[in-house]
Amino acid sequence: MASSGSIDWAKVIADPRFQTLHRRKTRFLWGLMAFSVVYYFMLPMGAAYFQDLFKVKVWGVINVGLLFALSEFAVAWGIAVYYSHVANRDFDRMAKEIAADFHMQVGA
């Protein structure tokens, strides 16, 4: 672990580009996380407390509850794809720029 001493980590943290990356990532990740947790727990809550709504038939015998459960899959996949898209487009590029600079400084 001593090998990493060659980089001044405080300087990395203080770098304005790191600050931007950190800010955007924090907001994005925790926002998405909160949304997914809330959306997930709506399912058992709904199944317990809104049974009348869940029983409403919308498509043949298929009811709101079944569609809502299926939507959980769509939402989970949607979050995964959306996050990957943003991370691949923005976060990776920003991280790579910072990493390239500091690797150069230690001559790695």
Partner 1 sequence: MRNLTSRRWALACAAPLLFAALPALASGVVAAKYELMTWAVFAAVILITVYITYVAAKRIRSASDFYTAGGGISGFQNGWAIAGDYLSAASFLGIAGLISLYGYDGFMFSVGWLVAYITVLLLIAEPCRNIGKYTLSDILAYRNDPKWTRVVGALSVITVSTFYLTAQMVGGGVLIKTLIGIDYEWSVLGVGVLMLSYVLFGGMVATTWVQIVKAVLLVTASVIIVMLVWTPYGFSLPGFLADVVGDPKVQARVAVLLGDPSKTMSAAELGQRFLEPGLLYKVPIDQISLGMALVFGTAGLPHILMRFFTVPTAVQARRSVVWAMVIIGGFYVLTLFLGFGAAKNVGPATIAAVDAGGNLAGPLLAQYIGGGPDSVMGNFMLAFVSAVAFATIVAVVAGLVLAAASAMAHDLYVGVYHGGETVPAKQQVTAARIATVLVGAIAITIGIAAKGQNVAVLVALAFAVAASANFPCVLLTLYWKRCNTTGVVAGMIVGTVAAVGLTLVSPNLTYPKAVRAASTKVLEAEAGKRVAIMAALQSGDAKQIADATKTAAALDKAVAKAKADMAKVEGQETSFIGLEKPLFELRNPGLYSIPLGFLAVLLGSLLGRDRRSEEMWDEVYARQNTGLLVSKSQAH
Rule CB under 8 A: which residues touch partner 1? Answer: 1, 3-4, 7, 9-10, 12-13, 18, 21-22, 25, 29, 32-33, 36-37, 40-41, 43-45, 47-49, 51, 54-55, 57, 59-63, 65-66, 69-70, 72-73, 76-77, 79-81, 83-84, 87-88, 92, 95, 98-99, 102-103, 108
Measuring CA to CA, which residue among 6, 25, 24 is closest to residue 105? 6
Contact call for residues 12 and 102 (beta carbons, < 8 A): yes
Least distance in angstroms from the C-beta of 78 to partner 1: 10
| Residue carrying structure tokens 């995964």 | 80
Least distance in angstroms from the C-beta of 41 to partner 1: 6
Structure tokens at 53: 């709504």
- CB nearer to partner 1: pick between 1 and 16: 1
CA 58 to chain centre: 32
Cα 11 to Cα 4: distance, rounded to the nearest angstrom: 14
- CB nearer to partner 1: pick between 4 and 16: 4
